Structure 1
Amino acid sequence: MTLPSSARVVIIGGGVIGCSVAYHLAKQGWTDIVLLERKQLTSGTTWHAAGLIAQLRATKNMTKLAKYSQELYGDLEAETGVATGFKRCGSITVALTDERLEEISRQAAMARSFGVEAEPISPSEVKARYEHLNIEGVTGGVYLPLDGQGDPANIAHALAKGARQNGALVKEGVLVTAIQKEDRRVIGVSWKDKTGETGQIACEHVVNCGGMWGHGIGRMAGVNVPLHSCEHFYIVTEAIPGLTQMPVLRVPDECAYYKEDAGKMLLGAFEPVSKPWTLDIPKEFEFDQLPEDFDHFEPILENAVTRMPMLAEAGIHTFFNGPESFTPDDAYHLGLAPELDNFWVAAGFNSIGIQSAGGAGQALAQWMDAGEKPFDLGDVDISRMQPFQGNRTYLFERSKETLGLLYADHFPYLQKKTARGVRRTPFHKHLLDRGAVMGELAGWERANWFARADQEPAYEYSWQRQNFFDNVREEHMAVRQNVGMYDMSSFGKIRVQGRAAEAFLNFVGGGDYSVPVGKIVYTQFLNARAGIEADVTVTRLGEFDYLVVTPAATRLADQTWMERIARARDFDVVITDMTAAEGVLAVMGPRSRELLQAVSPNDFSNETNPFGTAQEIEIGMGLARAHRVTYVGELGWEIYVSADMAGHVFETLAEAGEQFGMRLCGMHMMDTCRVEKGFRHFGHDITAEDHVMEAGLGFAVKKDKPDYMGRDAIRAKQDEGLQMRLLQFKLTDPEPLLYHAEPILRDGEIVSYLTSGAYGHFEGAAMGMGYVPCQGETLADVLASSYEIDVAGTRVKAEVSSKPFYDPTSERVKV
């Protein structure tokens, strides 16, 4: 076989994703692109995909990528001569319960704020658009007229042809057998073709587009790519007389979707408990099916025959079972692997690979070409995955659930049920014994709320007030009016040490870290556009020793980002994850000083321990470090204690807290309090594409520093003025609830959406934050307008403020 001895990039995998990456890199002007497919293009999962192509996703950027895919597929045929079968037939999602109707109504409102056409429709209107549907029990629906469907294999072949037309080399029948590395870089791949010939290609980049083989390909390079294949079932009927083009239909309450295709009907399922297949896929696998399991599919079919009566008369032409790969959180993997500096991943597309491939390929190509993300991709960035999530047993257990989550009720605060209990803080048993109801984030078990003695310690999900609403209100008011304690151990703790530590932090962060030992700096790490890469506190523990505290979910991403800059800029620092070494208890509220004084001989007064400082303390019979900071907007301390003494310190505080009426609190309380205080949440209110000044965090940037990441973008924004402002909103009606992505209306017109929301129990209403366009306007102009929030299609008036509604001058944290 004729293959080059070197290439700029080797793409492994010839499904729709690999073909899209090759196509978009070629469009970016890259040359020496080689795509290697072990068998034939599309022969893994792409060939048997259902080909549903929707626009709306859960976030604005994911929706933008899905919309781009549609536009691309509509144009590919003219460019390449390969018919993609793409047609905008529309889609309908129907609800069979009031809760599901609330969900899809909120989705329709969100769609409007993202620029996606979506129309709520009544049961009779559903019937008018889908005559074959039995609407008994249907409570409503949503119609998206621009959704569509396409031919998955032909879309991939069109992308491959487009890549070839722009100079890429696409080779089938070539298996990658090994990946060579030096230090943190891939330097080449070894291959073997179907005749037995072998060879090597030296390369500057590798992209893992291996689909369900992606986990194993990652292992070759020492890269963690957590995904697992599951069996995915659908049937195709015999031809049905008179059946014409219909919208794609989804009935998530019955776990089913329907697609008309060439006069036949395809019925597919995303059942609640799925069947994991294997990580050890047979080497000969190519265009293969898995054994039929009609018993597994039968409950779906029984409901479908009732819902679509014509299926009772139609013969089954095909019963299909094929594998697809699913990730632990149902979001695909995209981006630069944390373990290496030139190994990229685009895999694990959770049965939405066709609708995602165009946008994902474009975004990855732009990222590879520019060396930085084109916009915020935190939802899918491979660096969000924790190392343990590559564990085979974990993946097998979690994959039983993730397939079905696509059509599950997406209730607020929904917790995954499988593969739980992997990461536990030192206080885990203490909290469970006292009624903690655990949630999971990045594998960490975290107390989200505390059940009363007469209450089942479990979630009862709803779009309305859930069973923990009053519990969280009581926890919230304890922190506002008395004292509460909660576990913050899961937050990332990264030590930055070395003679260059101060200079390094002054370069990557917007703050000033040339501070005395014991000083805490609230700050942001910035990229070149002054977007926010991380929202952290930095504590100087010693002359050459800093502690960076970051959100639990982004610890690996933040550490990797810092390490790459340190290497690139030759900063002599050591960066170490210390998260599991210390437990952290947050003691917050007006009486927190009294409680700490009762268990420690140290001085917690403003004179000795002012806000924004840390001190070593004795506590009970142990030792700890007290950081005077807050994420709830009250007087309080975060108590850092080594894991060996954590249990003792908890017991000491819990026992002493009884005389103060101290209440144990959870993460939901922390969120409701921070929303009242206007504190930003990373990943929602602030991201890599949000300018730090437009986020209202310019106060944390020391703009006169001589050199730091984002300096030029800061200066440019000072000159040009703000384009957006992050504002806080409070509903005037105390009943509706806010979560995120609800449209913001200014003077009757949709201008944006809420980046986050929660109920402000002290303020007595739901609250949220969101960016509002403000180019050429003063702050007074922006605040003078009338604002409403669209809650599931109902407009609710809202107060607006640029300052926190609660304690706007922060007097309470500094008393």
Structure 2
Amino acid sequence: MAGPRVVIIGAGVVGAALADELSSRGWTEVTVVDQGPLPATGGSSSHAPGLVFQTNPSKTMTELARYTVEKLCALDVDGQPCFLQVGGLEVATTPERLTELRRRQGWLTSWGIEGRLVGPEECVDLHPLVNRERVLGGLLVPTDGLAKAVLAVEAQIRAATARGVRFLARHEVLDIRTDGEHGERVTAVVTGQGEIPADIVVCCAGIWGPKIARMVGMNLPLTPLAHQLAWTGPVPALAGQAEEAVRPILRHQDADLYYRDRFDRIGIGYYGHRPMPVSADDIASVDSAEDSAEDSAEPMPSVLRFTEDDFADAWTETQSLLPATRDAKVEEGINGLFSFTTDGMPLLGESPDVKGFWVAEAVWVTHSAGVGRAMAEWLVDGHCSSFDLHECDVNRFEPHQLAPDYVLARDCQNFAEVYDIIHPLQPPDAPRPLRTSPFHVRERELNAFFLEASGWERPQWYSANEPLLARWSIPTPNDWAAQLWSPVVGAEALATRESVAMYDMTALKRLEVAGRGAAAFLQRLTTANVDKSAGSVTYTLMLDEDGGIRSDITVARLGRDLFQVGANGNLDLDWFTRHLHDWGHRPAVAGGGSVVVRDITAGTCCIGLWGPKAREVLQPLADSDFSNNGLRYFRAKRAHIGAVPVTAMRLSYVGELGWELYTTADMGLKLWDTLWEAAQPYGGIAAGRGAFNSLRLEKGYRSFGTDMTYEHDPYEAGLGFAVKMDKGDFIGRAALERRAADVRRRLTCLTIDDPRAVVMGKEPVYDDGRPVGYVTSAAYGYTIGKGIAYAWLPAELATAGRALQIGYFDQRVPAVVAEEPLFDPTMSRLRG
């Protein structure tokens, strides 16, 4: 199998890895073009310092790094290794950082990588240049090390070339040709040395990525930023060191610094300077940079002149942490360009508008080989089976997140925060606010504390509810969990259970699917039967071809040919749109009629009115019957609430009687005021996301992206009830039939007795000291009086009553496997 004609733009660590991985899978009609020479092409790979630290809060990023380490360890060029596995050491010089290292060690354990905390003496034993008086401890990862990026490129070029892949140096890309009614498919790549036919084009151009992507009209949210890397002259303490690196690579994140050996010299990387963004359009081509090299100290376009003033604090701090450097001086340095994105994650996937144009961008050496494998699987198999890529998909962004001002601000902030201690709930400081619901003015009047979700200002709690604290004693969690928290969260949760509360649900994405083929289209994409009577609401899943969960959604049939979908984000819209094109080829007739998909989020809003008094509040306002018989659980209808037309859906993710009430944005404030006035005699309140999360976990409701992702199937996740095998064919059905008989892990509910021991997510779970899984969602359950943590565990351990422990910083928190749901298992409150 030669495969389709693939052109990869960029022969750095990503492009070379992708060519190697594609050709190893039988795709050999592959051409890799680069504007520079091979293997040092002049991009970021050519000057990358090569430090590979695998520790990351993202399971996906850690696994991409682990594969990169494993692959590069097995590669060499004429006996020269492509990876020096000297280990990685992160040191703490403050108590806060030492605590953070314990959290980071927990991530490693959760994701299955060896890492251990070491004391200050062992830090010095491992890296004798470290000042014992400065360090409080460290985190050692033995499998970390130094990637020899240019050698790795050469090794993978050789392997791919042996299978028939062509590598063309000195081929600058000038254009990408497309064809079709709307120019929606790639046909060729135009270079300075001719045109290369292509069925698939993959942009691995790194810092030039935005420029290449614009050739097909794609807006890539990536900013090249300069990052300082300096080299000392000979350090007398290292005199005679014959090997390039013998000490662990070193991170001093309290000062935004990292270090590596280079024989008798030390490399110093620094993130503490001012952000220095550069437009991709302003980066010279390799040829023009070489032409001007005689007049410049920097021979590569990805390397800018070193700015000594920006490095002054770094050198002072280096001499303090590594006193031996006081006998040396900085002899050379660069401001090297690297790619940054708005959320710190790579950009992987296919253009939403031009079929066959793919990107693998904003990928550092640390994750390069892993991304090469992920992209190869995605291209060859139609999905990636080795890694969950939902955090990396280039189509994850909302439209405002592609605005140039937003991209620049967020990318610069991510550079500044690259080594900061970030709380799991910490929102971006700017640019805010961006998106506000029609209720925002009332929420501010109630002194809401806002966090951010997809640009939306979303209340976490309301300070106006502080008087409720006189009614309940709300336990205070540990210091970490108490950040971005208030006891009002607990009071709002209990008030919801007792009376009635209004929740702003506007931030949830809403899609409209309409047309004569809408029902058949949705049947094809979902696991449950959505082709039911008008007024039905169905909880269902979308799967990939391998049976992994793409998303969980609610589908409300509002008319014969009209559906409203409650989705999880822009990736769901992208999934619908791609299959819509396949369904009818720009929307047309297939399977029974045309289909149109629209994102209606911005023009609509939603209030969740929930609690045992919800019907008493709503019914007097309504022109329709909202009794139990008038609108049953998981049914929808249109009605008027006072003067406001609404679509009411009887469902609740807090486990209480109530409705999601949707209306147009222009009527939202009136809906809020109408409900608010009616709720006051019943003690009604506005409640925030903190209470919502506690209540949903008491009820056992899952959250896609946190509790389950592409790597999990419905049976593992406890969502088998949402799969109807008797409905006919749907995407992923065949794979699901194979997976159903072999469930080896389960999403499991754990409870914690100690009210202070509230965990936050991503912590390891232990069974008699052996790590066996990791936490997904967690919160305190104020109704049940226990902490709640959902976790992925081996199936044999997911038995009620099993005693386990959760690793939380330096503690082992006792936890017990519990039957779920913890609250209202008979569903009497929801169905009443």
- Say whether the fold is shared (TM-score over 0.5): yes
| Range moving further from structure 2, 665-674 or 23-32 | 665-674
Q: Does 1:760 align with 2:771?
A: no
Match of 1:496 among 503, 508, 513: 513
Match of 2:595 among 569, 573, 577: 573
User: 1:3 maps to which residue?
Assistant: none
Shift of 1:284: 3.3
Task: Confirm or deny: 8 A CA contact 1:383 1:556 kept in the other structure.
Answer: no
Q: Does 1:662 align with 2:684?
A: yes
Percent of counterpart pairs with the same letter?
32
Deviations 1:195-250 (A, max 9, x none): xx4x3222110101111111121111122321011111122100112325211111
Task: Confirm or deny: 8 A CA contact 1:496 1:574 kept in the other structure.
Answer: yes
Task: Confirm or deny: 8 A CA contact 1:488 1:585 kept in the other structure.
Answer: yes
Separation of aligned partners in 2, 1:567 and 1:273 = 50
Q: Does 1:218 align with 2:213?
A: yes
User: 1:363 maps to which residue?
Assistant: 374
Task: Confirm or deny: 8 A CA contact 2:478 2:756 kept in the other structure.
Answer: no
Task: Confirm or deny: 8 A CA contact 1:273 1:401 kept in the other structure.
Answer: no
User: 2:638 maps to which residue?
Assistant: 616
User: 1:592 maps to which residue?
Assistant: 614
Deviations 1:685-730 (A, max 9, x none): 1222211112111112222223222333343345x34222221011
Match of 1:229 among 224, 230, 240: 224
* Change beyond 3 A, Cα 1:678–1:173: same
| Range moving further from structure 2, 619-628 or 463-472 | 463-472
Separation of aligned partners in 2, 1:555 and 1:277 = 32
Task: Confirm or deny: 8 A CA contact 1:723 1:773 kept in the other structure.
Answer: yes
- Please state whether the residue corresponding to 1:733 is helix, strand or coil: coil
Match of 1:143 among 140, 145, 150: 140
Shift of 1:54: 2.3
Q: Does 1:541 align with 2:563?
A: no
| Range moving further from structure 2, 334-343 or 357-366 | 334-343
User: 1:391 maps to which residue?
Assistant: 403
**1:33-44 superposed matches below 5 A:** 33-40=30-37, 41-44=40-43
Shift of 1:454: 9.4
Shift of 1:784: 5.3
User: 1:253 maps to which residue?
Assistant: 254
Q: Which amino acid aligns with 1:489?
A: T
Shift of 1:53: 1.4
Q: Which amino acid aligns with 2:350?
A: L
Q: Which amino acid aligns with 2:64?
A: L
Q: Which amino acid aligns with 2:212?
A: I
Task: Confirm or deny: 8 A CA contact 2:273 2:310 kept in the other structure.
Answer: no
Q: Which amino acid aligns with 1:364?
A: M
Task: Confirm or deny: 8 A CA contact 1:732 1:765 kept in the other structure.
Answer: yes
Match of 1:470 among 465, 476, 487: 487
- Please state whether the residue corresponding to 2:26 is helix, strand or coil: coil
* Change beyond 3 A, Cα 1:454–1:737: closer
- Please state whether the residue corresponding to 1:280 is helix, strand or coil: helix
Match of 1:12 among 9, 13, 16: 9
Aligned length: 792
* Change beyond 3 A, Cα 1:307–1:73: same
| Range moving further from structure 2, 509-518 or 310-319 | 310-319
Separation of aligned partners in 2, 1:37 and 1:56 = 31
Task: Confirm or deny: 8 A CA contact 2:465 2:492 kept in the other structure.
Answer: no
Q: Which amino acid aligns with 1:215?
A: P
Deviations 1:112-150 (A, max 9, x none): 232211111122322332222224453432111111012
**1:22-421 superposed matches below 5 A:** 22-40=19-37, 41-77=40-76, 80-81=77-78, 83-136=80-133, 138-181=135-178, 182=180, 183=182, 185-193=184-192, 197=193, 199-243=194-238, 245-271=246-272, 274-284=275-285, 286=289, 287-288=300-301, 289-349=303-363, 353-374=364-385, 375-421=387-433
Q: Does 1:809 align with 2:826?
A: yes
Shift of 1:584: 0.9
Q: Which amino acid aligns with 2:685?
A: R
Q: Does 1:737 align with 2:794?
A: no
Separation of aligned partners in 2, 1:179 and 1:260 = 42
Shift of 1:49: 1.1
Shift of 1:85: 4.4
Shift of 1:111: 1.3
Separation of aligned partners in 1, 2:175 and 2:442 = 47
- Please state whether the residue corresponding to 1:511 is helix, strand or coil: coil
Separation of aligned partners in 1, 2:702 and 2:383 = 24
- Please state whether the residue corresponding to 1:685 is helix, strand or coil: coil
Shift of 1:735: 1.5
- Please state whether the residue corresponding to 2:74 is helix, strand or coil: helix
Task: Confirm or deny: 8 A CA contact 1:184 1:341 kept in the other structure.
Answer: no
Q: Which amino acid aligns with 1:739?
A: M
Task: Confirm or deny: 8 A CA contact 1:227 1:390 kept in the other structure.
Answer: no
Task: Confirm or deny: 8 A CA contact 2:230 2:269 kept in the other structure.
Answer: yes
Shift of 1:7: 6.9
Deviations 1:30-63 (A, max 9, x none): 1221111123343121111110112333233332
Q: Does 1:749 align with 2:766?
A: no
Shift of 1:417: 1.7
Task: Confirm or deny: 8 A CA contact 1:103 1:463 kept in the other structure.
Answer: no
* Change beyond 3 A, Cα 1:749–1:7: closer
Task: Confirm or deny: 8 A CA contact 2:779 2:789 kept in the other structure.
Answer: yes
Q: Which amino acid aligns with 1:189?
A: A
- Please state whether the residue corresponding to 2:430 is helix, strand or coil: coil
Question: Normalising by structure 1, what TM-score?
Answer: 0.92
Shift of 1:501: 1.5
Q: Which runs of 5+ in 1 are unaligned?
A: 1-5
CA RMSD across the alignment:
2.5
Q: Does 1:723 align with 2:744?
A: yes
Q: Which amino acid aligns with 1:173?
A: R
Deviations 1:660-684 (A, max 9, x none): 3322222232222212221111012
Task: Confirm or deny: 8 A CA contact 1:252 1:407 kept in the other structure.
Answer: yes
Separation of aligned partners in 2, 1:728 and 1:650 = 35
- Please state whether the residue corresponding to 2:198 is helix, strand or coil: strand
Shift of 1:561: 4.9
* Change beyond 3 A, Cα 1:454–1:614: closer
Q: Which amino acid aligns with 1:381?
A: D
Separation of aligned partners in 2, 1:61 and 1:793 = 24
Shift of 1:628: 1.1
Deviations 1:465-517 (A, max 9, x none): 12523132222222222222222112111111122221222222111112111
- Please state whether the residue corresponding to 1:235 is helix, strand or coil: strand
Deviations 1:541-587 (A, max 9, x none): 10011111112364434434543553489443211111112111111
Task: Confirm or deny: 8 A CA contact 2:5 2:29 kept in the other structure.
Answer: yes
Task: Confirm or deny: 8 A CA contact 1:735 1:765 kept in the other structure.
Answer: no
Q: Which amino acid aligns with 1:370?
A: D
* Change beyond 3 A, Cα 1:331–1:31: same
User: 2:546 maps to which residue?
Assistant: 529
Deviations 1:64-122 (A, max 9, x none): 22111111111221xx5373541111111122333333322122123123221111112
